[in-house]
Chains A and B, each alone.
Chain A
Amino acid sequence: MNRDEKIDQIKRQKYFVWGDVAVFAAALLLIVFFVLVAFLTPKEKGDTFYVFYRGEQIFSALLDTDAEYIFYIENGEGIVEKYNDSNGYKSYNRISVEGGTVRVSGADCPDHTCEHLGAHSWGEIICVPHDLRIEIRGKGLETDV
């Protein structure tokens, strides 16, 4: 079937044809598979969150006390401090700890994805433009080995 015949086909075809069942079935199978994977992924609540900038851990704090922190980048270095206000910072993320969860409550990155990721008590929150990753895990004191 050449190109013009196919175009002709589209014009005459209905929006859905029988063959679609196969594609939709495959898509549903895929989603079911993802649900299973997501369901089987262990969701271990952490009690500490760790802040990584460019893959290096730069900060950690407990989740049991509500607090606000600010992450910002200065001269290519990632810094986390107690939050006062976000004025005067460039490339910042405001990190809020509330009731054992952590979320990004403000940021000046272009996409604000990190804020939309919401509050977490396990797993990770990322801000791709700032190369920032917040990881929640752990039980207390950590060492190299």
Chain B
Amino acid sequence: MIVKFFGRALCFLLSAAILCFCACSADETEYYFVEFSISSNFYAGGQKLDNNEIRSVSAEVGKMLNSIEDDVSTEKSGSVARINAADAGEKIQTGEYTSDLFSLSKELYRQTNGAFSPALYNLSELWGFSPEYADRYTQPRQEPPQNEIDACLEKSQFDDIYRAESGEIVKKNAETRIDFGGIAKGYMSDCVLALLRQRYGEVQGTFSVMSNSVLAGEKQNDSAGLGYTATLENPRKEITGGLSSGGALYFTGLSDVAVSTSADDYRYYVYDGKIYKHILDPATGRPSDNGVISITVLVPLSVAHAGALADAYSTTGFCMPLTQALSFYELLWKEYGIGAVVITSDFCYYTVGEYTVLQPKEYAQLTNPSLTDKVENVFTYTEISAAKDEVVPCEKEREYIELLAARNG
């Protein structure tokens, strides 16, 4: 009797209180799925989406992103895993997402003369950048011997994978394996935009899938009158930047554009005074070594697959000599209005296209003048004509490499 009653009383109080607490606190947790975030200032049909709506749409987006990931991740058991496990000549049925990514990749492979290739999974593994090394990417390690790199290159040819007439994907070399890491997140951002447009029609607002952002429409409620603004992450924020060290450069006046950044401060290791990036050059089979440390690409949403292209183009510039990369981006600007900002290890930056790129001090002057003296301009604007393929790391860069080396033993 006593036990029963104690139980009753306790349950009553606790459950009521906790229910009340949870009901309210659940409302406050921001909904981040996998790597997705949507701004709270999101508009559809002139109306700002309220918190409930944001939550419900985030849940829907989360579900879709999970199903994309299941299909295209090398670690799941979807289409890509099946392709990687398949024998030569085997016809592989693929899901819609993998099929899309495959077609897009083929086109980009052609357009970039092979500088963009998704068939580098074997090389990633050789250099220790594939997911099973997740806990030890930064561990210093020797380069793999050249003969192993060459052998790996043999089984990293995207030409060895093709689409059969009937639509299935076929490999010529059983050992070739693909990994859509260089384009999948951007592709996901395209899918999210399509979902939002299907649900609401035209939308205005921003969202991000990892370092891939989409800035849809014109900025609403733009009190500063700057349009959308975007931060170009400072890849050397650990040693430079002052108070607001997170931003190397700032974009203003943006609208209807997909922005993607690739940089060498994500998945890397330092060995013998050199940074080994996770971005591998399909031509040499080695980590990119052209003196570039960060590339940001802006693709207007009027271009089909803007997000996927921004993601892919932001890595291709790492796999060409600097001058060639810059002329490649100039071509993209002329043809599609695609913009790019390239930062090099001598702490120079080059801009392609007519986008407004501001130094931290200039941006502070516009938005928060009291910060002007507290932020630091880290990178120096340089004309494209002055670019050389041979990039000599500046003193700060050597300092940064030493810091990384010391940290990772």
> CB-nearest residue of chain B relative to A33?
B18
A117 at the interface (CB under 8 A from B): no
Q: Give the docked Cα–Cα distance between A55 and B276 (Å).
A: 45
> CB-nearest residue of chain A relative to B7?
A22
**Of A22, A62, A65, A143, the contact of B230 (CB 8 Å cutoff):** A143
Name B198-221 residues within 8 Å CB distance of A: 206, 208, 213, 215, 219, 221
A141 at the interface (CB under 8 A from B): yes
**Residues of chain B contacted by A23 (CB below 8 angstroms):** 9, 13
The answer to whether A30 touches B367, judged by C-beta atoms less than 8 angstroms apart, is: no
Interface of B is mostly: mixed
Known contacts A145-B208, A145-B231: does B368 contact A139 (CB below 8 Å)? no
B235 at the interface (CB under 8 A from A): no
The answer to whether B219 touches A144, judged by C-beta atoms less than 8 angstroms apart, is: yes
The answer to whether B374 touches A140, judged by C-beta atoms less than 8 angstroms apart, is: yes
> CB-nearest residue of chain B relative to A59?
B223
**Residues of chain A contacted by B368 (CB below 8 angstroms):** 48, 60, 62, 140-142
Q: Give the docked Cα–Cα distance between A22 and B247 (Å).
A: 55
Known contacts A26-B10, A29-B14, A30-B17: does B370 contact A142 (CB below 8 Å)? no
Smallest Cβ distance from B75 to chain A, in angstroms? 27
The answer to whether A141 touches B247, judged by C-beta atoms less than 8 angstroms apart, is: yes
The answer to whether A56 touches B221, judged by C-beta atoms less than 8 angstroms apart, is: yes
**Residues of chain B contacted by A48 (CB below 8 angstroms):** 368
> CB-nearest residue of chain A relative to B247?
A141
Smallest Cβ distance from B378 to chain A, in angstroms? 13
Name A5-56 residues within 8 Å CB distance of B: 19, 22-23, 25-27, 29-30, 33, 47-48, 56
Known contacts A25-B10, A56-B221, A60-B368: does B250 contact A143 (CB below 8 Å)? yes
Q: Give the docked Cα–Cα distance between A80 and B250 (Å).
A: 26
Interface range for A: 20 to 34
The answer to whether B375 touches A141, judged by C-beta atoms less than 8 angstroms apart, is: yes
Name B218-271 residues within 8 Å CB distance of A: 219, 221, 223, 228-231, 243-247, 250-251, 259
**Residues of chain B contacted by A126 (CB below 8 angstroms):** none
Smallest Cβ distance from A54 to chain B, in angstroms? 11
The answer to whether A144 touches B215, judged by C-beta atoms less than 8 angstroms apart, is: yes
**Residues of chain B contacted by A65 (CB below 8 angstroms):** 370
**Residues of chain B contacted by A25 (CB below 8 angstroms):** 10
Q: Give the docked Cα–Cα distance between A76 and B276 (Å).
A: 57
Chain A 87-128: CB-based contact to B (< 8 A → 1; otherwise 0): 000000000000000000000000000000000000000000
> CB-nearest residue of chain B relative to A29?
B14
Interface range for B: 35 or more
Most B Cβ at <10 Å: residue of A48, A56, A140, A144: A144
**Residues of chain A contacted by B367 (CB below 8 angstroms):** 141-142
Smallest Cβ distance from B233 to chain A, in angstroms? 11
The answer to whether A143 touches B370, judged by C-beta atoms less than 8 angstroms apart, is: no
**Residues of chain B contacted by A33 (CB below 8 angstroms):** 18
> CB-nearest residue of chain A relative to B366?
A141
Chain B 18-49: CB-based contact to A (< 8 A → 1; otherwise 0): 10000000000000000000010000000000
B137 at the interface (CB under 8 A from A): no
Known contacts A29-B14, A30-B17, A62-B370: does B231 contact A143 (CB below 8 Å)? yes
B363 at the interface (CB under 8 A from A): yes
A61 at the interface (CB under 8 A from B): yes
> CB-nearest residue of chain A relative to B6?
A22
**Of A26, A62, A141, A145, the contact of B9 (CB 8 Å cutoff):** A26
**Of B17, B215, B244, B360, the contact of A145 (CB 8 Å cutoff):** B215
**Residues of chain B contacted by A141 (CB below 8 angstroms):** 231, 244, 246-247, 250, 360, 363-364, 367-368, 371, 375
**Residues of chain A contacted by B231 (CB below 8 angstroms):** 141, 143, 145
Q: Give the docked Cα–Cα distance between A23 and B12 (Å).
A: 9
Q: Give the docked Cα–Cα distance between A98 and B228 (Å).
A: 33
Q: Give the docked Cα–Cα distance between A22 and B364 (Å).
A: 58
In addition to A30-B18, A145-B213, 5 A-B residue pairs with Cβ atoms within 8 Å of each other are A139-B243, A140-B244, A141-B247, A144-B206, A144-B228
User: Would you list 26 pairs from A and B whose C-beta atoms are within 8 A, ordered by A residue?
Assistant: A19-B5, A19-B6, A30-B17, A30-B18, A48-B368, A60-B368, A62-B370, A62-B371, A64-B370, A139-B243, A139-B246, A140-B246, A140-B364, A140-B368, A141-B231, A141-B246, A141-B360, A143-B231, A143-B247, A144-B39, A144-B215, A144-B229, A145-B39, A145-B206, A145-B228, A145-B231
The 3 closest A-B pairs by CB, nearest first: A140-B244, A143-B229, A145-B213
